[in-house]
Structure 1
């Protein structure tokens, strides 16, 4: 099987740390071995077609854990240029440098390595203790740090930003009818 650059997944996961006040994806994970497991693989020894992994794709590297039904990796001149993960849904989990967990879920994750743009589509939910962002389409430009969500035909975006003091829970308080009984 072709070797995938460790930076591919490290950069993909760095995209999920786009919420305000977040820490970086665990940097030491990039120095760990990457293990890839799938029910089936189809690849060519040259760059003539994408490498396709199907049948319960699992990718782990340090604290990084990715689960998808399918991964399509396109390479040019031996370098990965695009990774498309699809599934029911794609799940990404990683411990951040500050030790806190990060979880991301989407129907599809499309990472353009050349332009450093990650597009999460289909029931996207990216969460960590500092907050969350969800919607049908979230685009993260890793070069500029710009995050775009929603827009025409892509539904609404929802964000929750937790207070820095950690005093509030992630679940909203139930509405009160004014009677304190």
Structure 2
């Protein structure tokens, strides 16, 4: 796998908003990336672009988007932007339960470790869900902020612990 695609692979694991709870063994599995087209430079002069149905899988992690654009600086990836179709992310948690996220755009800043989901955002896991037009997840602090655009509202549902077991 070439360096830009390997960089994308390393980024993909971090895109899950429940990364602290996501299947930890996934990080030790091989990552597979498929796309209809790739356009990249061997230096940082322009970003790497994957398009034509991007599919990223690693263990239970499954990410699908129309396009992925990876920006690098000094040979290291600094930003990943997934768009289109919408972006769909699924992963199994360590307890075997599923987490999934959908958004029109996922923008991950590797330096600040902040992931911004925008446009039709819906993130669901067994403990509850959050939906809105914009959800910001700080991977360093675990802080999640959500909001709507215009008259839009953020919607949060928290499941009672006694019903999370599938009953």
Q: What is the CA–CA distance in structure 1 between the aligned matches of 2:143 and 2:35, rounded to whole Å?
A: 33
Matched, 1:73 2:76: no
Once the two structures are TM-superposed, the CA of residue 115 in structure 1 deviates from its matched residue by 0.2
Indicate how the Cα distance of structure 1 residues 69 and 46 shifts in structure 2: closer, same or farther if over 3 A, else same. Answer: same
| Aligned CA distance change for structure 1 residues 168 and 26 (closer, same or farther; 3 Å) | closer
Larger Rg: 1
TM-score (norm 2): 0.91
Task: Indicate conservation of the 8 Å contact 1:6/1:30, yes or no.
Answer: no
1:11 aligns with 2:14: yes
More helix, by proportion: 2
Q: Which runs of 5+ in 1 are unaligned?
A: 171-181
- TM-superposed CA distance for 1:169, in Å, is 7.8
The corresponding residue for 2:133 is 136
In structure 2, list runs of 5 or more residues that go unmatched.
Answer: none
Q: How far 1:5 moved relative to its partner?
A: 6.0
Q: 2:156 aligns with which of 139, 156, 159?
A: 159
Residues 30-60 of structure 1 deviation map (CA, whole Å, 9 limit, x = unaligned): 1111111000000001111110000000000
Preserved contact between residue 81 and residue 114 of structure 1 (Cα < 8 Å): yes
Q: RMSD of the alignment, in Å?
A: 2.1
Change (3 A) 1:101 1:62: same
Query: Relative to 1, partners in 2 of residues 1:154 and 1:12: Cα closer, same or farther, differing over 3 Å?
Result: farther
Counting only pairs closer than 5 Å after superposition, residues 25-174 of structure 1 correspond to structure 2 as 25-150=22-147, 153=150, 155-166=152-163
Per residue, is there more strand in 1 or in 2? 2
- The alignment's TM-score, normalised by the length of structure 1, stands at 0.84
